[in-house]
Structure 1
Amino acid sequence: MKRHGFLKAPCAVSPFDFSPSRYIVLDNGLRALLISDYSGPAASEDEEEDGEEEEEEEEEEEGDESGDETEDESEEDDEDDGYDEDDDEGKKKKGNSAAALCVGVGSFSDPSDLPGLAHFLEHMVFMGSEKYPSENGFDAFLKKHGGSDNASTDCERTVFQFDVQRKSFKEALDRWAQFFICPLMIRDAIDREVEAVDSEYQLAKPSDSHRKEMLFGSLAKPGHPMGKFCWGNAQTLKQEPQKKKINVYKRLRAFWKKHYSAHYMTLAVQHLKTYLLHNLAKPDFSNLLDPFDTPAFNKLYRVVPVRKVHALNITWALPPQEKYYRVKPLHYISWLIGHEGTGSILSLLRKKCWALALFGGNSETGFDQNTTYSIFSISITLTDEGFQNFYQVTHLVFQYLKMLQTLGPQQRIYEEIQKIEANEFHYQEQIDPIEYVEDICENMQLFPKDDFLTGDQLMFEYSPDVISAALSLLTPEKANLMLLSPEHEGQCPLREKWFGTQYTVEGLFLLPFYIPSYLPSFPTLISSFTLLSSFLSLAHICCLALSFYLACQFYCLDFYYYYSFLLTTPPSLSLIHSSFYFSVVLFDLLVNILGHNLAEPAYEAEVAQLEYKLTAGEHGLVIKVKGFNHKLPLLFHLIIDHLADFSASPDVFSMFAEQLKKTYFNILIKPEKLGKDVRLLILEHSRWSMVEKYQALMAGLTSAELMEFSQNFRAELYAEGLVQGNFSSAESKQFLQYITEKLQFSKLPTEVPVMFRVVELPLKQHICKVKSLNKGDANSEVTVYYQSGLKALREHTLMELLVVSAEVFCLIISIRSVVPPTEYHVYPTCRNTSGVLGFSVTVETQATKFNTELVELKIEEFLASFGEKLNTLTEEAFNTQVTALVKLKECEDTHLGEEVDRNWGEVVTQQFVFDRLNREIEALKQMTRDELVSWFHEHRGQNSRKLSMHVVGFGAEENDEQAGGDECRQEDLSGSTYGEVSKLTFLHPSPKMAGAEAIMDIHAFTKGLPLFPYHKILG
Structure 2
Amino acid sequence: MKWFIVPIKDIRNLKITFPIPDMQEHFRAAPVHYWSHLLGHEGKGSLLSTLKIRGWCNYLVLGKCSSARGFDFFSAHVDLTEEGILHVDDIVTMTFQYINMLKNEGLVEWIFESDIAKMNFRFKEKASPSSYVIVTVRSLQNYPIEEVLSAPQLYTQWRPDLINELNNYLVPEKIRVQVVAKVEGEANADSVEPWYGTKYKKEKIPEDLIQRWSNAGTDEAFQLPEKNEFIPTNVYVDLTEEGILHVDDIVTMTFQYINMLKNEGPVEWIFEEYSDIAKMNFRFKEKSSPRSYVNVTVQSLQDYPIEEIRVQVVAKAYEANADSVEPWYGTKYKKEKISEDLIQRWSNAGTDDAFQLPEKNEFIPTKFDIKPIEKAEKFPTIIEDNPFIRTWFKQDDEFLLPKATMTFDFVSPLTYIDPISSNMTYMFVQLFRDSLNEYAYNADLAGLKWELSHSKYGLSLVIAGYDHKLDVLLNKILDRMVNFTIDDKRFAILKENYIRGLKNFEAEQPYQHAAYYLAALMSEQVWVKNELLNACSMLTADRVRQFIPLLMSKMHIECLIHGNVTKAEALKTVKNVESKLISSVKDLTPLLPKQLVLYRELELPNGCHYLYEVDNKHHKSSCTQIYYQSGMQSTESNMLLELFTQIISEPCFNILRTKEQLGYIVFSGIRRTNGVQGLRIIVQSNKHPQFVEERIDAFMESMKDYITNMSDEEFNRHKESLATQRLEKPKMLTSQSGIYWNEISMQQYNFDRANVEVAYLKTISRSQIIDFYKDVVHSESPQRHKLSIHVVSTAEGGAAAEDVTSPTPSAEETKKTLEQAEQQPARIQDILQFKTSHPLYPLVKPFNNVPRKGTQQQSKL
1:570–1:627 CA contact under 8 A, matched in 2: yes
Match of 2:136 in 1: 440
For the structure 1 residues 757 and 732, does the alpha-carbon distance in structure 2 shift closer, same or farther, using more than 3 Å as the test?
same
Which of 161, 171, 185 lines up with 1:475 in the alignment? 171
Distance 2:796 2:140 in 1: 45
Match in the other structure for 1:1006: 835
Asked if 1:412 is matched to 2:110, the reply is yes
Shift, 1:621, TM fit: 0.9
Unaligned segments of structure 1, at least 5 residues: 1-298, 962-990
- Show the counterpart of 1:498: 195
1:573 counterpart letter in structure 2? F
Match of 1:755 among 594, 598, 604: 598
- 1:579-590 equivalences in 2 (<5 Å): 579-581=416-418, 582-590=420-428
- Kindly indicate whether residue 560 of structure 2 is the aligned counterpart of residue 719 of structure 1: no
Structure 2 residue aligned with 1:863: 700
- One-letter code aligned to 2:36: S
Q: What is the identity percentage for the equivalent residue pairs of Structure 1 and Structure 2?
A: 24
In 1, Cα distance between equivalents of 2:480 and 2:111: 29
Aligned to 1:769: 613
User: Contact conserved, 1:759 with 1:1011, CA < 8 A, in 2?
Assistant: yes
Q: Tell me the residue number matched to 2:770.
A: 933
Name whichever of 791-800 and 585-594 sits farther off. 791-800
Output the amino acid matched with 1:351: I
Shift in alpha-carbon separation, 1:760–1:349, aligned structure 2, 3 A: same
CA–CA distance in structure 1, aligned partners of residues 822 and 543 of structure 2? 47
Q: Return the offset for 1:754.
A: 5.2
Higher RCO (CA 8 Å, separation ≥ 6 residues): 2
* Residue correspondence of structure 1 range 451-490 to structure 2 within 5 A: 451-490=147-186
Which of 751, 755, 759 does residue 918 from structure 1 map onto?
755
Task: Mark the CA change 1:464 to 1:779 in structure 2 (over 3 Å): closer, same or farther.
Answer: farther
1:294 aligns to what?
none
Q: For 1:186-585, what aligned pairs fall within 5 Å after superposition?
A: 299-363=1-65, 368-414=66-112, 416=113, 418-490=114-186, 491-508=188-205, 509=209, 511=212, 512-516=215-219, 518-524=356-362, 525-534=364-373, 536-539=375-378, 541-542=380-381, 544-549=382-387, 551=388, 556-564=389-397, 565-578=400-413, 579-581=416-418, 582-585=420-423
Q: Which residue of structure 1 lines up, in the alignment, with residue 628 of structure 2?
A: 786
SS in 2 for 1:820: coil
Mapped partners of 2:752, 2:379: distance in 1: 11
Report the equivalent of 1:886: 723
| 1:548–1:558 contact (8 Å) kept in structure 2 | no
Q: What is the CA-CA distance between 1:701 and the residue it aligns to?
A: 1.2
Q: CA deviation at 1:806?
A: 1.0
Query: How far 1:384 moved relative to its partner?
Result: 1.6
2:686 equivalent to 1:820: no
Separation of aligned partners in 1, 2:45 and 2:164: 21
Could you say which residue in structure 1 is the equivalent of 2:231? none
Summarize the alignment of residues 178-193 of structure 1 with structure 2, pairs less than 5 Å apart.
none
Match for residue 684 of structure 2?
844
Is the Cα contact below 8 Å between 1:793 and 1:1018 reproduced in 2? no
Q: Which residue number in structure 2 is paired with residue 9 of structure 1?
A: none
Deviation digits for residues 693-738 of structure 1, max 9, x if unmatched?
Answer: 22322x2411111111111110010110100001010111122212
1:993 Cα shift? 10
Deviations 1:94-119 (A, max 9, x none): xxxxxxxxxxxxxxxxxxxxxxxxxx
- C-alpha offsets along residues 387-444 of structure 1, whole Å, 9 cap, x if unaligned? 2223222211110112223444332222x2x332222222121222222212222222
Q: Does the Cα contact within 8 Å between 1:668 and 1:691 map onto a contact in 2?
A: no
Residue 487 of structure 1: how far off its partner (Å): 2.0
Summarize the Cα distance change of 1:628–1:834 in structure 2 as closer, same or farther, 3 Å threshold.
same
User: How well do the aligned residues superpose, as a CA RMSD in angstroms?
Assistant: 2.2
Change (3 A) 1:732 1:657: same
- Distance in 2 between the 1:993 and 1:374 partners? 64
- Whichever residue aligns with residue 841 of structure 2, its letter is F
Aligned CA distance change for structure 1 residues 992 and 374 (closer, same or farther; 3 Å): farther
> After the TM superposition, which residues 595-610 of structure 1 pair with which residues of structure 2 at under 5 Å, given as runs?
595-610=433-448
**8 Å contact from structure 1 (residues 819, 855) kept in 2:** no
What SS does the corresponding residue of 2:698 show, helix, strand or coil?
helix
Q: How many angstroms apart in 2 are the aligned matches of 1:893 and 1:395?
A: 48
2: distance between equivalents of 1:952 and 1:432?
41
Q: Following TM superposition, by how much is the alpha carbon of 1:821 offset from its aligned partner in structure 2, in angstroms?
A: 6.5
Aligned to 2:711: 874
Q: CA deviation at 1:665?
A: 3.1
Assess if the C-alpha contact under 8 Å between 2:688 and 2:800 holds in 1. Answer: no
Whether the aligned pair in 1 keeps the contact of 2:409 and 2:460 (CA below 8 Å) is yes
**Structure 1 residues 443 and 820: alpha-carbon distance in aligned structure 2, compared to 1, 3 A threshold:** farther
> CA–CA distance in 2 between the matches of 1:752 and 1:713?
14
Counterparts of 1:735 and 1:670, CA distance in 2: 42
Residues 84-103 of structure 1: pairs in structure 2 closer than 5 A: none
CA distance in 1 between counterparts of 2:202 and 2:67 reads 25
Instruction: For residue 648 of structure 1, report the CA deviation from its aligned partner.
Output: 0.8
| CA distance, structure 1, for counterparts of residue 487 and residue 145 of structure 2 | 55
Per-residue deviation, residues 875-906 of structure 1 (Å, max 9, x unmatched):
33222211221122222222211110100101
Partner in structure 2 of residue 696 of structure 1: 535
SS in structure 1 opposite 2:111? helix
CA gap of 1:999–1:648, structure 2 versus 1, over 3 A, is: same
1:993 & 1:327 partners in 2: Cα distance?
73
Deviations 1:935-977 (A, max 9, x none): 111112333111111223435251469xxxxxxxxxxxxxxxx
1:23-42 equivalence runs, <5 A: none
- Aligned equivalents of 1:719, 1:770: Cα separation in 2: 40
Write the distance in 2 (CA, Å) between the matches of 1:934 and 1:1009. 26
Kept in 2: contact 1:354–1:387 (CA 8 A): yes
Contact 1:792 1:1017 (8 Å CA) reproduced = no
Contact 1:359 1:380 in 2 (8 A): yes
How much does 1:662 deviate? 2.1
* Cα 1:378/1:754, change in 2 over 3 Å: farther
CA distance 1:641–1:916, shift in 2 (3 Å): same
Q: Secondary structure at the match of 1:653?
A: helix
> 1:1016–1:779: structure 2 CA closer, same or farther, 3 Å change rule?
farther
Counterpart-to-counterpart distance in 2, 1:918 and 1:888: 11
CA distance in 1 between counterparts of 2:104 and 2:90 reads 21
Cα offset, 1:822, TM superposition: 3.7
Residue deviations 1:492-524, cap 9 Å, x none?
A: 231122222221123433534222463111213
Q: CA deviation at 1:571?
A: 0.6
Residues 619-634 of structure 1 correspond to what in structure 2 (within 5 A)? 619-634=457-472
| Partner in structure 2 of residue 118 of structure 1 | none
Distance 1:724 1:957, change over 3 A: same
Q: Deviations over 1:80-137 (max 9, x none)?
A: xxxxxxxxxxxxxxxxxxxxxxxxxxxxxxxxxxxxxxxxxxxxxxxxxxxxxxxxxx
Measured in 2, the distance between the counterparts of 1:449 and 1:772 equals 54
Count of aligned pairs between the two proteins:
672
Q: CA–CA distance in 1 between the matches of 2:379 and 2:744? A: 15
- Give the structure-1-normalised TM-score: 0.63
Contact persistence 1:574–1:621 (CA under 8 A): yes
Task: Return the offset for 1:561.
Answer: 3.0
